[in-house]
Structure 1
Amino acid sequence: MSINPLDNDTIETLSETSRLLDENFNKNQETWLEKFRKQRLLWMLPFSLTLSIIMSSTMAPLVQLIVELVCQEFNEKNKNKSLRFGDECDLPEIQVNASNYIMWYTTLLNVAVTISTGYFSTLSDYLGRKFVFKLSTVGLILALANVLVVAHFWKIVGIKFLFVGSVIEGLLGGVITINTACHAYLSDCTSCENRSVAFSLMHATAYCGMSIGPTLVSLIVPETVSPSMRNQNFLISPPTSIKNILSPLTVLRQIPVGIEEDNWRGRNTLYILAVIYFFYKVSQAAQNEIVNLYTKYKFHWTSLENGYFLSLQSFTRLLALILLVPLLHLIRLRYNPTNSRSLDIWTMRGGLIMEIIGFILFAIAINPDWFYFACVINSLATITSPAMRSLFTTYVLSNQSGQVLGAISVIESIGSILSPLWMNQLYSWGIVNGISEIVFWTNGGEKGNKVFIVTIDIHY
């Protein structure tokens, strides 16, 4: 794919501050229904609400199911009829086996996502955002159906049959691709000055815990990429084949839009952001799965206590996104209205600091109350993600939002592949050697020594 295939006339009409949305797309609407279906930010809120159910509400039951099935399998193999799901299932052997199953489930999911997400995300510039919503939703439905099959017939199909569902979900895009398409939709409808707030609002609604099916919503959500814009995108730069899974990353090679100084920091701003986002995902993607295993092992938590933890996590993230981010946005408008990137950069740095502190508090928590407190501090780091995504979109032309967000999704999926590989293995090693909290110490150190230091080099 050509990196900068636009002619001079097109470049003059496009910039990082432009909206991709064609203002003439629905200009001749006449009926009340067509006016109601106008492209707007609010259409994405039902999607973010659905993602909250997919990303949080199904995670704890899945981890609990895997632990229970491993416990039953252990019981079958050892012919120990006195072993029941409860405290006996906290044996180190069962914890290690369950951790390995979870690791391979998430690894295969994210490998499949890496193959598909960049292609589908970029393809949304040509076929529209709704195409991605519908396709990836089918994958989620099939994966959940597969979990139900294994839960009821694991003795027939085996626990490893869970992996089939994870691969299917990943090859059809998964949550990462839906999330990327949602951010692309918001980029189409908003200017760069308001983009981080729009992203934060979408993330905030995700943590409300309400659910509306994305397939149902896709029937009424209006498209933001008009037919004329899709045709123009095809003519300017045809989409690459899905065979080249890293092709969306080529957008990172171009000179960032709006950078006037010709120096190393300026030319490589997109690369620096990509490195930051990669390490952020490597240390964050498998976090909640490890928390579920760790708290059950150390504090003997059940699904109820883990539910409290996830509710507290979501509520804290909700408050941070609907109160803290808009407040910072108002402060920027008051004191620095000409530089929208500065707020995103400092928001990202502040979020990373909170995550470092949170991981340290996880490691030293000696009782559940302290662990809940660590959850609050760690959850404040949620302001990092919308700030990062907003920054990426401000450094490219408006018609490249789908491609750059596709690049982010590839980076995210690769980081999500590596995250469970090292975190689950380190957790298993820590369980065997009596230092189960080592995974949190390592996470905090990795953030502090790599990610946060790199942020110093981001160019305004």
Structure 2
Amino acid sequence: MAGPGEMTSLLQDGREGRPERAESVWWNRRSAWWALSAAPLLNMTIGIVLAPKIEVYTGLACMSHRPELFEKIADNSLLKSAVVALPRLCATDPEVRRVVAQLTTAETTMLGILSCLATGWWSSLSDRTGRRTLFFAAASGMLCANVIYILVNRFWRYLPGGYWWILLGPLIEGSFGGMPASMVAFTAYVGDTTSEQRRSKTLSINFGLYWVGFSIGPLVGNLALRMTGNIMSIFYIAVTLQAAFLLYTKFIMLEPLSKAQQEQARANWKLHHEPGQQSLTRQGLLLAKVWDLFAPIVRPLEAIKPVLKKSMDPTVRPRRDWNLFLAAVSIGCLFIIAGDLPFKFQYASAAFHWTAEENGFFLSTLSASRGIYLIIILPLIIKYFKPPTQEIEIKVESDTEPSGYKTIKQKLESPTFDLRLARISIFFEGAVHVVMVLFPSPGSLYFLGVFGTVGAGFPPAVQSVALSLYIHQGGEEVGKVFGALGVIQTLCGQIISPVLYGFVYVLTVNIFPLSIFVASTIAITSSGLILFLVRMPTHHEIIAKHTDVSGFNPGTSIRWGQSTDQAGALVEI
């Protein structure tokens, strides 16, 4: 991706390096909407198959391990017609549930690890070959995965290993980056086509459109299931929509990077990867390649390591500031629950006899309520309850003034509002899970989904806290801290989470299936307890940091002036 110094040229170049005058007509003018307009389409294909996958896994496992539960099946395909319905006994059979949990765990773990390793490579390639390459790779992987689901469902009896061939889908999808790569593609496209002043707002729209597409997908899938009675029709729809997105990317979407910028990126890449040390042994080259593979995961974490904090009192020894590190760990603990949704679907299928249609409706309700809260309700809460920015006058020492002092003005944000918002959000997130454990019912699950959206305020609030702590520590490159948080979210949410929930559910599915909700409650509680250890800098520390005046001390005169209503400023961060 182009550096900050190249952003001006990025905003002036047209498609494929055309001069700015070629952008006089709207179809040649670079805009983030070329990508954002297609965001709901691609995200809809992700949400539309999420719940049906569980029913496909259940059907394959049931036909393999409990074929006697089926009265009549016309051929080898699953749910060929509306007349032959998947027996409800399949979803409650212990052996079938165990196999489904194993398949779900293997799929999510494989997809998470491969996506974590491949997304960085594909993102780097898009700097050299264009952003559309990243879109094309991510969508192609998703399309291939859905095609494999269709083929394995139809021909699993003839394949060595049977239904386990379905894991070829996440293998291919993860190798092409999967959903993480698509999210990076949309973010990079916005960064290439918007100015710094508008970028935060446009990224917020991108995030909202993600939830719009994710909520529409299950509704479309439920409609198709009612009309056809065939669960696999949902996968055909997903393949069709993904193919349409690929055609849009290839023939309609404008390329935000010019030829010159791509050439410069290729030159920089060759210079950076030139093997200059000929004296390295074969083993050394192998180790270097292994490090290059994992460096994109390890190196960004340096941004959150504890740093030595100098005290305002020179007689006090410096100590390490752990606040940013603890905030990052708190984020990681919460994202561990990201992998519990497939197991919630499996639990609902067994305990409440929910079908893919009912699971899909629950997912749509969950996604829609979360999107509404994040786009409308939370910004209003911040606007009306966040303390306004205060303008203060600080009297500090000065060698240029006759009196020996000078007065400077400084605008001071509330240093603790976002931290309090994050703590309140995590409290609601944990409370609804406790309700589900104590009163398991379909109503409690919907209560968890709808009212639990209040907990959705935790990620943006705690990321704002992390950014404030990072800047207070002297950090200047904002992308570093968000890169570190992104690595933590991927590791915890897509690698650790599916392994943990799969292990817990397989061991307890026949004893205490509510264990997945207990595991989520423990993760949320751990996140909240760690967050309560985080301390924001005091007003005096912030003033001293911003003014950078060595003569300032806690006893310096401070006079508060009029409030300036900038309470919503941090919403754009």
TM-score by length of 2: 0.65
**CA distance in 1 between partners of 2:513 and 2:478 (Å):** 44
| Aligned residue number for residue 332 of structure 2 | 278
Deviations 1:127-179 (A, max 9, x none): 44332111111111111111110111111221111111111110110011111
Amino acid in the other structure paired with 2:253: V
Equivalent residue for 1:42? 33
Structure 1 stretch displaced more, 291-300 or 126-135: 126-135
Secondary structure of the residue aligned to 1:457 is coil
The reply to whether residue 57 of structure 1 matches residue 57 of structure 2 is no
Q: Deviations over 1:277-329 (max 9, x none)?
A: 43233221x22201111111111111222122112112101211220243256
Contact 1:193/1:340 (CA < 8 Å) preserved in 2?
A: no
CA distance in 2, matches of 1:261, 1:214: 53
SS at match of 2:10: coil
User: Equivalents in 1 of 2:260, 2:529: separation in Å?
Assistant: 42
Aligned to 2:107: 105
d(CA) in 2 for partners of 1:185, 1:388: 25
- 1:353/1:452 contact within 8 Å kept: no
Change (3 A) 1:147 1:222: same
Q: Which has the larger radius of gyration?
A: 2
Instruction: State the match for 2:380 in structure 1.
Output: 327
Contact kept in structure 2, 1:60 and 1:303, CA below 8 Å = yes
Secondary structure of residue in 2 paired with 1:432 = coil
Aligned to 1:179: 183
Assess if the C-alpha contact under 8 Å between 1:20 and 1:399 holds in 2.
Answer: no
Q: Are the counterparts in 1 of residues 327 and 462 from structure 2 also a CA contact under 8 Å?
A: yes
Q: What's the offset of the Cα at 1:260? A: 10
**1:352 touches 1:452 (CA, 8 Å); kept in 2?**
no
Question: Sequence identity of aligned pairs in percent?
Answer: 22
Alignment pair present for 1:364 and 2:438: yes
Q: Which moved more, 1:322-331 or 1:344-353?
A: 344-353
CA contact (8 A) 1:100 1:424 kept: yes
TM-fit CA distance, 1:362: 2.7
- Partner deviation per Cα, 1:192-224 (whole Å, 9 max, x = no partner): 776665444222222323576442443443444
CA distance in 1, matches of 2:365, 2:329: 30
2:246 aligned partner, one-letter code:
T
Instruction: After TM superposition, list the pairs within 5 Å mapping 1:440-455 onto structure 2.
Output: 440-450=517-527, 453-454=530-531
Three-state SS of the structure 2 residue aligned to 1:366 is coil
Cross-structure match for 1:310 = 363
The 1:251–1:75 alpha-carbon spacing in structure 2 relative to 1, beyond 3 Å, is closer
Contact preservation (8 Å) 2:310, 2:319: no
Cα distance in 2 for residues equivalent to 1:99 and 1:340:
46
Secondary structure in 1 matching 2:212: coil
CA distance 1:442–1:52, change in 2 (3 Å): same
Give 3-state SS (helix, strand or coil) of 1:207's partner: helix
> How far off is 1:261 after superposition?
7.4
| Counterpart Cα distance in 2 of 1:50 and 1:408 | 27
Aligned residue type for 1:429:
L
1:424 aligns with 2:502: yes
Q: Distance in 2 between matches of 1:231 and 1:451?
A: 47
**Cα distance in 1, alignment partners of residues 467 and 140 from structure 2:** 28
Q: Do the aligned residues in 2 keep the contact of 1:349 with 1:452 (CA within 8 Å)?
A: no
1:333-373 Cα distance to aligned partner (Å, 9 max, x none): 98238759977656554443332223223323332122211
1:291 is matched with 344
Q: Residue 551 of structure 2 corresponds to which residue in structure 1?
A: none
Say which is worse superposed, 220-229 or 318-327, in terms of deviation.
Answer: 220-229
Once the two structures are TM-superposed, the CA of residue 123 in structure 1 deviates from its matched residue by 4.3
Separation in structure 1 between the aligned mates of residue 24 and residue 376 of structure 2, nearest angstrom: 33
Letter in 2 for 1:168: I
Deviates further, 160-169 or 386-395: 386-395
Alignment of 1:115-194 (within 5 A): 115-157=117-159, 158-188=162-192
Return the structure number with greater strand share: 2
Superposed counterparts of 1:210-359, under 5 Å: 210=216, 213-219=244-250, 220-226=252-258, 243=290, 244-249=292-297, 250-254=299-303, 269=324, 271-272=325-326, 274-284=328-338, 286-328=339-381, 330-331=383-384, 335-336=388-389, 348-359=422-433
Question: Residue 29 of structure 1 contacts residue 35 of structure 1 at CA under 8 Å; is this kept in 2?
Answer: no
Deviations 1:72-128 (A, max 9, x none): 11124xx56659832311112211111111111111111211221233334444544
> Which residue does the alignment assign to 2:11?
23
Whole-angstrom distance in 1 between the partners of 2:125 and 2:107: 27
Amino acid at match of 2:335: K
Shift of the 320–362 alpha-carbon distance from structure 1 to 2, 3 Å rule, reads: same
CA contact (8 A) 2:303 2:484 kept: no
Question: Residue 44 of structure 2 aligns to which amino acid in structure 1?
Answer: I
Change (3 A) 1:425 1:62: same
Amino acid at match of 2:502: N
- Larger mean Cα displacement after TM superposition, 29-38 or 151-160: 29-38
State how far apart, in whole Å, the 2-side matches of 1:376 and 1:223 are.
39
Alpha-carbon contact 1:136-1:174 (below 8 Å) kept: yes
1:437 to 511, 514, 526: 514
Q: Please say if residues 118 and 406 of structure 1, whose CA atoms lie closer than 8 Å, have aligned partners that are also in contact.
A: no
Structure number with higher relative contact order (C-alpha < 8 Å, ≥ 6 residues apart): 1
Choose 201-210 or 63-72, whichever is displaced more.
Answer: 201-210
Deviations 1:209-251 (A, max 9, x none): 3576442443443444555555666677866798533322413
- Given that residues 118 and 245 in structure 1 are in contact (C-alpha distance below 8 angstroms), is that contact kept between their aligned partners in structure 2? no
User: What is the TM-score when the length of structure 1 is the normalising length?
Assistant: 0.79
Q: Which has the larger displacement, 167-176 or 122-131?
A: 122-131
Whole-angstrom distance in 2 between the partners of 1:41 and 1:342: 34
AA at the equivalent of 1:281? F
Q: How far did 1:388 drift?
A: 6.2
* 2:89 paired with 1:88: yes
Asked if 2 retains the 8 angstrom alpha-carbon contact of 1:121 and 1:406, the reply is: no
- CA root-mean-square deviation: 4.1
Structure 1 gaps, min length 5: 1-9
| Aligned amino acid, residue 506 of structure 2 | S
Count of aligned pairs between the two proteins: 439
Task: Give the Cα separation in 2 of the matches to 1:365 and 1:448.
Answer: 19
SS of equivalent residue, structure 2 residue 11? coil
Name the SS for the 1:23 alignment partner: helix
Deviation at 1:23, TM superposition (A): 3.1
Q: Which deviates more, 40-49 or 166-175?
A: 40-49
Q: 1:104 and 1:74 mapped to 2: Cα distance?
A: 19
The aligned residue for residue 210 of structure 2 is: 206
Give the number of the structure whose residues are more often helix, by fraction. 1
- Structure-2 change in CA distance of 1:136 and 1:457 (3 Å): same
Check 1:252–1:36 CA distance in 2 against 1; reply closer, same or farther (3 A cut): farther
Q: Give the letter for the 1:71 counterpart.
A: C
